[in-house]
A and B are shown apart, each in its own frame.
Chain A
Amino acid sequence: MADGMVRVARRIAHGCLLLLGVSALSFALLSLSPGNFFDELRLNPQISPDTVSALRAQYGMDHPWPVRYVRWIASGFRGDFGYSLSYNCPVGTLLWPRARNTLLLTALSTLLAWMIALPFGVFEALQRGKWRGRVGSILTATLLGIPELLLALLFLLLAAKTRWLPTGGMTSPDVADAGLLGLSRDFASHLVLPMVVLALGAMPLLTRYIRSAMVTVLDSPFIESARGHGIAHSRILYKYALPAAANSLISLLGFSIGALLSTSLLVEVVLSWPGLGPLVLEALLARDIYVVMAVVMLSSVFLVLGNLIADLLLYWSDPRIRTV
């Protein structure tokens, strides 16, 4: 037990070091790529360059990037994650409500994707070689071939034409006076479209990986012998095959968790979901450096978390891996 705790503690320490490294490298990359936030102002003939330089100085942007980086880290410890150049307000106030919305969406859609992909992948593995398996393959190939943006647009069109679902956004304007039930119903109806689009986008990859993992296991001798012993198919599947395949599945789960903040960016933009997507896209293109840094750091935290959880689950679940 204590051994496990030590391992976890060590991983957390590694994680912090990693975050530091990520922050330094990202900051460097962001600062070294050409263009900066104020160039657009300079293109406006009505604003004098003195004003632009004064603004730059005000935000501390005329210092070299290592100096700014150190200052940013220092202020981070005080809870101040920098200032948005576009919005003129602390990054934190911009981030938290939107991060919450994104997490809500991605958590639910990842759950949905796994709920579909797991049985589907197993099904494809069991039915491989037969026509049902082929149809499944065609379906996943089709979904894979449609870019997420296109999928989002098609669903949006569907929603608009049929009026079954709202066309984007997270809440209806007049929902404030609807009571708890009305609120949750409204929220659910807005959630359906982006959730389905994201799940459909993630599903084919997951399905293929799961299928592949299952196929490897199903072809192995111990399963053959179990069948030979006359054990029922369902028991073989649940008690022997799935646990053996868990190794790859857990790594995949780690990725799913790690990607919680980043998968939905494009879909959020198309379906106007008030998450990090539209914010980050604009900030990226406008070189609003501290907003981008904050989102990168947040995503890294999730990545580290996801990998940590995956590793721990791996050691715990697969008895073939001795403690290293």
Chain B
Amino acid sequence: MGVRNAAGKIRRGADVINAVAFRNAQRFALALSVLFACGAARAQEYSTVSGDPGETGGKLVVALRSEPKTLNPILSVDATSREVIGALNADLVHINRETQRTEPGLAKTWNVSPDGRKYVLYLRRGLKFSDGAPFNADDVVFSFGLYLDESLHSPQRDLLVLDDKPIIVKKLDDYTVEFDLAKPYGPAERLFDGLAMLPRHLLEKSYKEGKLAQTWGTNTPPEEFAGLGAFKLKSYAPGQRLVLERNPNYWKKGQRGNQLPYLAELAFVFVPNEDAQVIKFQAGETQLLERANADNFAVLQKDAAAKGHCLVDLGPGLEFQFLLFNMNSLEPTKSRDLISKQSWFRDLRFRQAVSLVMDRKGMARLVYGGRATPIWGNVTPGNKLWLNTNLPHPERSLEEARKTLQSAGFSWNSAGALLDPQKKAVSFTILVSSSNAQRSKLATLAQDDLKQLGMDVQVVPMEFRALVDRVLNTKDYEAVLMNLVNGDVDPTPEMNLWLSSGETHLWDLGEKKPTTPWETELDHLMETQMTTADPAARKKLYDRVQEIVSQNLPFVFLVSPNILVGAQASVGNFRPAILEPYVLWNADQLFLRQGGTAKCR
């Protein structure tokens, strides 16, 4: 036996020893991992969702009208960016889009101090970011520090500032955070929705270097991101698509205990043209249709059953379209013509007559194919929690409108033209944004309606920014047909609309004090409801606000377009809601049914 044989025997012997050792090591590792897994599972505090149990896997494709501008939650303003950011991140307290109420998010529970000024939130334990780093109160304090940092000019900052005092965030322990408000705030819980919790371990460095505004743009490589949302970034092709993949550390479970999200991938493709989006949906290239206009919805409906599309008309959302008359206090140097016309606009009876002659049903039928809801106030029936259901909805009546005008001193000449009390012919222009075809049509219908009262109205289409410039800056307009969308069902986000000193108090901008008694009452009501904790009391106050608005008509309300969405029948847990994002708010619960005949709910 030479060295070789001896070596061979030793090697074989070593092999045997190795094999045994290896098997033991395996058993040991297995035991360890089981222990570890159990321990980890126990440590991570999951949230269980209520949707249908689904099958894991699959890829969902959604078309977006424009590209997200940034993936940085501190800076995002536009809806598309917020939508994608929402899939990548999570917040402490979340508004369930279906019930429109708050529910626990990253914070599993919280309590409020009796004076309503201190909120203590208890975070879920054992949660990990998508890159595996642990999540705790340090990240929360860091994130709020960013939102509140004045040098970053985050649009989210203003929500967190009450009475010029920012919210104070204190870490009580690794999983408890305290929030101090300057005064009691009714909708305080809702503040947390949409405020993404950011990873301190990734962003602290660039923040200290002052480069936070440049981080987390769309071009950033996926490794530099980490979030607590259902998905994480996989790839981005400029101008084409953005692909997200499943976050293995997501903290929610389905009904049967499988970890969410069900989907393996969520892809966003950029399709700037609305009709092209519908064509793609019909061709089956996308599985969800985020928002269709009424015309395309009608086309889709024709063969929806045959093609396996589920089309849903969700009813009105939070958008309201209205006629705005210029009631600003203008300098005498401005057009004398405009100032004299304001005497009509400021007369409540004039506005009432305009409101009485508007053919809201015709507008809903002709412009939206019936898929819009006439409104007489700023709160639509889509807002289940806050709508004042006792408001009158006067039917369209030409005679009533005429009588109202007569009582205000208006008259008609032999040709049928309307004359004001000074015998001047009533004629004015309505500005409308040219980029929204439907609103231009509403303006045409309004013009025709007003013609029946003898008013000579001209519709002037104008590019959107030029129009906004006139409404906000130069105040050089007579009437405008425009829309506003409430950010939330809660009335507080639109404070600036109703407060006399508010920056979007459109009909009378720039006044610090109310100019009419009803505006005084509005100011008082809005400020009171903001600091009241009891929801029932707030509702009563806001009911009165709606009553005042509908009686005094600062806007002549027209219609609210319904929210129209669609999905292929193979998409499970498709439960669209009227709060944005309409179809993706429960993206973590969506799944694709494999095979079998799928049916719409």
Contact = CB atoms under 8 A, between A and B. Distances in A.
Nearest to A269: B272
A271 B240 contact: no
A54 B465 contact: no
Indicate the member of A46, A89, A170 with the most B CB atoms within 10 Å: A46
A285 B465 contact: yes
A97 B69 CA distance: 16
B153 A43 contact: no
Contacts of A272: 269-273, 276
Please name the 8 residue pairs, one residue from A and one from B, whose CB atoms are nearest each other, closest first: A274-B239, A35-B465, A45-B496, A35-B469, A48-B158, A39-B468, A278-B272, A34-B466
B174 interface: no
A282 B75 CA distance: 19
B504 interface: yes
Contact of A270 (B67, B150, B273, B468): B273
Interface of B: 61, 66-67, 69-70, 72, 75, 77-78, 150, 153-155, 157-159, 161, 213-214, 217-219, 237-241, 243, 267, 269-273, 275-276, 279-280, 282-283, 285, 435, 463-466, 468-470, 472-473, 484, 487, 493-497, 502-504
Contacts, number: 155
Interface in A20-38: 33-36
Contacts of B472: 39, 42-43
B503 A49 contact: yes
Contact of A287 (B213, B239, B465): B465
Given A39-B472, A272-B272, A88 B69 contact: yes
Contacts of A167: 276, 279-280, 283, 285
22 contacts: A34-B469, A35-B469, A36-B465, A44-B155, A45-B502, A45-B503, A46-B158, A46-B496, A51-B157, A54-B150, A55-B153, A87-B69, A88-B213, A156-B276, A160-B283, A167-B285, A171-B237, A269-B272, A270-B273, A272-B271, A278-B270, A282-B66
B269 A169 contact: yes
A89 B466 contact: no
A40 B468 contact: yes
Contacts of B272: 269, 272, 278, 281-282
Interface in A238-290: 269-275, 278-279, 281-282, 285-287
Contacts of A58: 153
Contact of A47 (B155, B243, B271, B283): B155
Chain B contact residues: over half helix, strand or loop, or mixed?
A: mixed
A54 B153 contact: yes
Given A89-B219, A101-B239, 16 more contacts: A34-B469, A40-B468, A46-B159, A47-B158, A48-B158, A51-B157, A54-B150, A55-B153, A87-B217, A88-B72, A94-B238, A97-B239, A168-B280, A171-B237, A270-B275, A285-B463
Interface residues of A, number: 53
Contacts of A75: none
Nearest to A41: B77
Contacts of A274: 237-240, 270
Contacts of A160: 279-280, 282-283
B155, B276, B502 — most chain A CB neighbours (10 Å): B276
Nearest to B464: A285
Given A41-B77, A88-B75, A98-B239, A173 B465 contact: no
Interface in A267-324: 269-275, 278-279, 281-282, 285-287
A86 interface: yes
Contacts of A97: 238-239
Contacts of B241: 169, 173
Nearest to B505: A45
A233 interface: no
A46 B158 CA distance: 7
Contact of A173 (B61, B283, B473): B61
